A and B are shown apart, each in its own frame.
Chain A
Amino acid sequence: MNSSLPLLSLLVFTPWAGAAVLALLCGASATMSRVLALVFSLSTLALGLVVLRAFDPARTTPQFVEHHDWITALNVHYYLGLDGMSLLLVLLTGIVTPVALLASWRVDHCPRMFGALFLLLQGAALGVFLALDFFHWFLFWELSLVPAYFLIKLWGGPGATRAAYQFVVYTIGGSAFMLLGFAAIFAATGTLDFTQLAQLGADGTLAQKLTALGGWGPRAIFLGVLLGLAVKVPLFPFHTWLPPAYAEAPTGASMFLTGVMSKMGVYGFLRILWPLFPAQLHAATPCLLWLALGGVVLGAFAAMKQTDLKRMVAYSSINHLSYCLLALFAVSSATGRPGLSSEAATAALSGTLLQMFNHGLSAAALFFCIGILESRAGGRRGLDDFGGVRTAAPIFAGLCGIAMFSSLGLPGLNGFVGEFLIFRGVFGLDPSAAAVACLGLFATAFFLLTFWQRVFHGPSRQGGTTGEFRDVSGVELAALVPLVVLMFVFGVLPHLLTGLFNPLITSWAGHLVLP
């Protein structure tokens, strides 16, 4: 609003413009397409930094607001805005996308289309993080599926077709019910504006209006929206699409899927479900907490049983994202409880946001490392296909180890801060849940260390198939190093991030009352 430039629109649409440019440049060479895609994907980081400079963390309301009439008949506005949480995710997108593109440098099959689809995906994700009106939030939400589908389908592994189909149908299935829920909300309130709806949710008007519908209506609406978001995150037991999709996707896409797209779901929980349905969420938490715990524990244990490295990391993603939900549900379940420690709530929520960011970095890095392994082993990525990599490729082993320990939550690396805050918050709010969740921590440590040990130590087993294991190339280094550096930076200086959203969290934690 201060700037005359529509910064947020630029943020969202620059990648799309890039996609259009790439799609139209029929004659572009492979390298040129790659470079172009990278340049356009970097625009997010650049613009994100511009926004960051002008961003005022103290304000909890959306900033850089762009608000225009759009569809009067549906009372829909073109409404973009950014607060601390959005900014965090925009920056994450800005970091992960170029890295993922660098990681895909070796994609030989039609790199032009690959880049175009990737930029489409990036724009859609940004749109989700910035839109404040359901209509175009949903637009970006659904459109993000399309490039993701084609990235998996056309550039994925042998089982990609089925995985991509499953991925999209699951997600659209969830979305259909979310759409229904919002149709009902619109029918009751006449608006689709998230900020207005949040207001209505906070003072209980929304609940009243929905109750006026009578019957099982309000519950169904809540469940519909919940389902749409839960599939996306995914919340146990709606996760079955995830391991095949992540495993079959090409490396770059896996990085983006886990780094950014999974955050869209968590973001939806925080931006939509919680503010709009505080009472219903509170009522549902006993059940939801167990589901989140299920994700934490079972995700970790399932990862332990995997022999496919990509599936292992995919399951670990379920585990990590379930922490975020666990924290949110714990806060919600504690809402309105007498003697609620707002400090614990603040910690849990800060942890959630941090965890989103950190998991984005570490999981993307891990997928990239597996991608490197896979490329060296001619497409194989079993736990038992490798051994002694550390000796052959010490730099790679070091970088991968850092990513692994970040994911594991080693103090000093970024992963630690988020998990620590989450556990601290959840212990204050719901000690038993936190205790159960610890199981997940142990299991995570166990499988990551197994990974480390089997792949990087032990006898060399890849020799017979691929010859000598080459260490990381320049491009790969360019992709990995920034991630690893950031892991250190945010591990040591987490306040760089928390500073962005602390006031926001405080204001959230300050309003923990049921309408």
Chain B
Amino acid sequence: MNALPCTIYLSFVGALLALAAGMRSAATARVVALLTALTGFGVALSAAAHFVPGPGLQNLINLPWIPDLGIRYHLAADGISLTLILLTGIAAVAGILFSWNIEERAGEFFALFLTLIGGVYGVFLSADAFTLFVFYEIAIVPKYFLIANWGSTNREYGAMKLVLYSFAGSALVLAGLLWAYAAGVAHGFAPSFALHDLATAATHFTRGEQLGMFALVFLGFAVLAGLFPFHTWAPTGHVAAPTAASMLLAGVVMKLGAYGCLRVAMPLFPVGLEYWQPVIAWLAIIGIIYAGLVALVQDDFKFVIGYSSVSHMGFVLLGLAVANAQAVSGAVLQMFSHGVIAGLLFAVVGRMVYERTHTRKLADLRALPLHRLMPFAALTFVLAGLASMGLPGFSGFPAELTILIGTWKTSPLWATFAAVGVLVAAAFTLRVIQVSFFGSSDRTSLPADAAAHPLPPITWAERAGAMLLIAATVYVGLKPDVLLQWINPALQSPLFQAALRGGTP
């Protein structure tokens, strides 16, 4: 447990090592990166094994950092952070495995990748708003270079859009947090950025202040979580990004936003939450359905997955907005689930298919009997697609079910619309499975050119990565208790209780 902060440091050190190793050869760099990610994942697993679930954050390290401003380097974890740390570990390992074929500037690639991972670990472990924000921003910039350097279609535009959206969101967060900090000082509290202290101070704020601060902080974080109508960065960014980066973006980085909403915005400003709840919920619902419908008519394979991410993150945001214990625990579960599933989907699309067929146009893929050329990829994609549809047996199902249960408690109408979203998700996922892998149903013979130029076989790294992700989604799907037993006690902490008390009718 106490070793968890090492995940952060390991990643940063690993980044430097990978950079250095990249000067020698790409192979060394990727081995270094993989070892780093594996160690981080191992640390997370061992922490999970020794974790005693309970309400409230369990301190890991708490040192004064900038005493003049009451800023402390404070890392702590509870069940929610642990869930997401594990997700990050999985995504990191899988991402590196799916980047095994990167040859050009591999050292830099893995260095940026690991920096991003380190920032993400840091966010999930922070118990001080300043610390959290610092890590949050550390995670932003590597994305730009990952996409702009190693991306595909329209990469510089996608990268810039993504980074500017993220940064604009974080600017809002910064404004909100600083306002809360200043208001706390104005109300006579000792200057502090500790989440706990801020929450205490916030109880004395005026209603107007709470509403304003919540709006800033929540919106700022929600931009990164893909809240409609601020989601447009996500599809373009995901599409432009190299495979590993899309996996991380959709898998982990979008979770940063949702996590920020949950960890910072909601407990600190419960009054604001209560006021803004309907707005957020409706936006989330619109996002679920709208993104789903858009995904239904896309012609680019990766865009479908990109929009599906927005749609699924809508469930997370809905769960958060509903703000009762059930819905929020579902939202956290959905964060994990979507992280794994989106990673898998992007891996298949970006790595297995695109880098072999060099097209992502569904119209082109339709002509290829891909399920026969790449049975493993087809199987993986089908499993991932089923998981993404929210079929039981995969992690998406308990998550969506829990969210629906919680949402129904607060508003049956919202729940009904969310169910429509489930239906839309099924429709577009099925469509893309059908068109991409099973488009050509000619079962007698392969087209002559396909037989003459067989696609490169799926490598062991891809197999290993896919197995890891599938195992994660199936395991959690069949045994959501492993995560829920951590998440639910965490929601019992006073901070969360303050945020959640408005939820039940």
Any A–B CB pair closer than 8 Å: yes
Complex CA–CA separation, A135 to B391 (angstroms)? 11
Are A153 and B408 in contact (CB-based, < 8 A)? no
Whole-angstrom distance between the Cβ of A57 and the nearest chain B Cβ:
32
Complex CA–CA separation, A172 to B431 (angstroms)? 13
In the complex, the chain A residue whose C-beta lies closest to that of B439 is: A161
Are A176 and B398 in contact (CB-based, < 8 A)? no
Contacting residues, chain B, for A70 (C-beta < 8 A):
479, 481
Contacting residues, chain A, for B401 (C-beta < 8 A):
74, 135, 179, 182-183
Are B426 and A172 in contact (CB-based, < 8 A)? yes
Whole-angstrom distance between the Cβ of B374 and the nearest chain A Cβ:
15
Contacting residues, chain A, for B326 (C-beta < 8 A):
187
Q: Is B458 an interface residue (CB 8 A)?
A: no
In the complex, the chain B residue whose C-beta lies closest to that of A155 is: B443
In the complex, the chain B residue whose C-beta lies closest to that of A215 is: B412
Known pairs A153-B441, A161-B441. 9 more at Cβ < 8 A? A73-B329, A73-B481, A74-B401, A109-B443, A142-B392, A160-B441, A168-B426, A187-B408, A215-B412
For window 371-409 of chain B, which residues contact chain A by CB distance below 8 Å? Answer: 371, 382, 386, 389, 391-393, 397-398, 400-402, 404-409
Contacting residues, chain B, for A183 (C-beta < 8 A):
401, 404-405, 407-408, 415
Are B391 and A71 in contact (CB-based, < 8 A)? no
A71 CB contact (under 8 Å) in B389, B398, B400, B487: B398
Task: Name the residue among B398, B416, B431 with the largest chain A CB count within 10 angstroms.
Answer: B416
Complex CA–CA separation, A146 to B485 (angstroms)? 30
Q: Is B427 an interface residue (CB 8 A)?
A: yes
Are A73 and B484 in contact (CB-based, < 8 A)? yes
Are B392 and A139 in contact (CB-based, < 8 A)? yes
Are B431 and A165 in contact (CB-based, < 8 A)? yes
Q: Is A213 an interface residue (CB 8 A)?
A: yes
Contacting residues, chain B, for A216 (C-beta < 8 A):
412
Whole-angstrom distance between the Cβ of B495 and the nearest chain A Cβ:
20
Complex CA–CA separation, A332 to B412 (angstroms)? 27
| Known A143-B391, A220-B412; contact A180-B404, beta-carbon cutoff 8 A | yes
For window 91-105 of chain A, which residues contact chain B by CB distance below 8 Å? Answer: none
Are B392 and A146 in contact (CB-based, < 8 A)? no
Task: Name the residue among A138, A160, A184 with the largest chain B CB count within 10 angstroms.
Answer: A184
Complex CA–CA separation, A171 to B436 (angstroms)? 22
For window 16-56 of chain B, which residues contact chain A by CB distance below 8 Å? Answer: none
Are B398 and A153 in contact (CB-based, < 8 A)? no
| Known A154-B441, A173-B423; contact A71-B479, beta-carbon cutoff 8 A | yes
Contacting residues, chain A, for B391 (C-beta < 8 A):
142-143, 145-146
Contacting residues, chain B, for A154 (C-beta < 8 A):
371, 438, 441, 443
Q: Is A438 an interface residue (CB 8 A)?
A: no
Whole-angstrom distance between the Cβ of A2 and the nearest chain B Cβ:
28
Whole-angstrom distance between the Cβ of B446 and the nearest chain A Cβ:
13
Q: Is B168 an interface residue (CB 8 A)?
A: no
| Known A179-B404, A180-B415; contact A168-B430, beta-carbon cutoff 8 A | yes
Complex CA–CA separation, A145 to B406 (angstroms)? 27
Taking chain A's interface residues, is the majority helix, strand, or loop, or is none over half, making it mixed? Answer: helix
| Known A165-B431, A183-B408, A220-B412; contact A176-B392, beta-carbon cutoff 8 A | no
Contacting residues, chain A, for B480 (C-beta < 8 A):
71, 73-74
Q: Mark B457-497, 1 if CB is under 8 A from A, else 0.
A: 00000000000000000000001110011011000000000
Q: Is A72 an interface residue (CB 8 A)?
A: yes
Q: Is B422 an interface residue (CB 8 A)?
A: yes
Are B441 and A139 in contact (CB-based, < 8 A)? no
Task: Name the residue among A71, A72, A177, A224 with the largest chain B CB count within 10 angstroms.
Answer: A71
B393 CB contact (under 8 Å) in A139, A164, A168, A176: A139
Q: Is A34 an interface residue (CB 8 A)?
A: no
Contacting residues, chain B, for A143 (C-beta < 8 A):
391-393
For window 342-392 of chain B, which residues contact chain A by CB distance below 8 Å? Answer: 371, 382, 386, 389, 391-392
Q: Mark A145-183, 1 if CB is under 8 A from B, else 0.
A: 110011001100000110011001100110011011011
Complex CA–CA separation, A107 to B431 (angstroms)? 26
Q: Is B434 an interface residue (CB 8 A)?
A: yes
Task: Name the residue among A74, A135, A173 with the largest chain B CB count within 10 angstroms.
Answer: A74
Contacting residues, chain B, for A135 (C-beta < 8 A):
392, 401
The size of the chain B interface, using a CB distance under 8 A, is 43
Q: Is B419 an interface residue (CB 8 A)?
A: yes
Task: Name the residue among B329, B430, B487 with the largest chain A CB count within 10 angstroms.
Answer: B430
Contacting residues, chain B, for A160 (C-beta < 8 A):
441
Q: Is B420 an interface residue (CB 8 A)?
A: yes
Are A138 and B408 in contact (CB-based, < 8 A)? no
Complex CA–CA separation, A305 to B332 (angstroms)? 54
Are B419 and A179 in contact (CB-based, < 8 A)? yes
For window 120-158 of chain A, which residues contact chain B by CB distance below 8 Å? Answer: 135-136, 138-139, 141-143, 145-146, 149-150, 153-154
Contacting residues, chain B, for A179 (C-beta < 8 A):
400-401, 404, 419, 422
Complex CA–CA separation, A168 to B430 (angstroms)? 8
In the complex, the chain A residue whose C-beta lies closest to that of B389 is: A172
Whole-angstrom distance between the Cβ of B375 and the nearest chain A Cβ:
9
Q: Is A459 an interface residue (CB 8 A)?
A: no
Q: Is A398 an interface residue (CB 8 A)?
A: no
Contacting residues, chain B, for A290 (C-beta < 8 A):
none
Q: Is A217 an interface residue (CB 8 A)?
A: yes
In the complex, the chain A residue whose C-beta lies closest to that of B480 is: A71
Complex CA–CA separation, A168 to B412 (angstroms)? 26
A173 CB contact (under 8 Å) in B426, B479, B481: B426
Q: Mark A63-78, 1 if CB is under 8 A from B, else 0.
A: 0000000111110000
Whole-angstrom distance between the Cβ of B406 and the nearest chain A Cβ:
7
For window 70-88 of chain A, which residues contact chain B by CB distance below 8 Å? Answer: 70-74
Whole-angstrom distance between the Cβ of A180 and the nearest chain B Cβ:
4
In the complex, the chain A residue whose C-beta lies closest to that of B405 is: A183
Complex CA–CA separation, A184 to B398 (angstroms)? 14
Whole-angstrom distance between the Cβ of B327 and the nearest chain A Cβ:
10
Are A187 and B405 in contact (CB-based, < 8 A)? yes
In the complex, the chain B residue whose C-beta lies closest to that of A190 is: B405
B412 CB contact (under 8 Å) in A142, A150, A184: A184
In the complex, the chain A residue whose C-beta lies closest to that of B325 is: A73
Are B415 and A184 in contact (CB-based, < 8 A)? yes
Contacting residues, chain A, for B481 (C-beta < 8 A):
70-73
Are A72 and B485 in contact (CB-based, < 8 A)? yes
Q: Is A469 an interface residue (CB 8 A)?
A: no
| Known A71-B484, A173-B426, A180-B404; contact A213-B412, beta-carbon cutoff 8 A | yes
Q: Is A508 an interface residue (CB 8 A)?
A: no
For window 44-77 of chain A, which residues contact chain B by CB distance below 8 Å? Answer: 70-74
A-B pairs with the 8 shortest C-beta distances? Answer: A139-B392, A73-B484, A183-B404, A180-B419, A172-B426, A176-B422, A183-B405, A184-B408
Q: Is A488 an interface residue (CB 8 A)?
A: no
Whole-angstrom distance between the Cβ of B200 and the nearest chain A Cβ:
30
B430 CB contact (under 8 Å) in A165, A177, A180, A186: A165
B427 CB contact (under 8 Å) in A74, A169, A186, A215: A169
Contacting residues, chain B, for A72 (C-beta < 8 A):
481, 484-485
In the complex, the chain A residue whose C-beta lies closest to that of B326 is: A187
Whole-angstrom distance between the Cβ of B449 and the nearest chain A Cβ:
22
Are B416 and A180 in contact (CB-based, < 8 A)? yes
B398 CB contact (under 8 Å) in A74, A142, A165: A74
Task: Name the residue among A142, A149, A216 with the largest chain B CB count within 10 angstroms.
Answer: A142
Complex CA–CA separation, A160 to B485 (angstroms)? 44
For window 181-218 of chain A, which residues contact chain B by CB distance below 8 Å? Answer: 182-184, 186-187, 213, 215-217
Whole-angstrom distance between the Cβ of A373 and the nearest chain B Cβ:
22
Complex CA–CA separation, A182 to B398 (angstroms)? 12
Are B409 and A187 in contact (CB-based, < 8 A)? yes
Whole-angstrom distance between the Cβ of A30 and the nearest chain B Cβ:
14
Contacting residues, chain A, for B419 (C-beta < 8 A):
176-177, 179-180, 224
Complex CA–CA separation, A372 to B71 (angstroms)? 79
For window 124-175 of chain B, which residues contact chain A by CB distance below 8 Å? Answer: none
Are B416 and A220 in contact (CB-based, < 8 A)? yes
Task: Name the residue among B405, B430, B487 with the largest chain A CB count within 10 angstroms.
Answer: B405
In the complex, the chain A residue whose C-beta lies closest to that of B421 is: A176
In the complex, the chain A residue whose C-beta lies closest to that of B417 is: A180
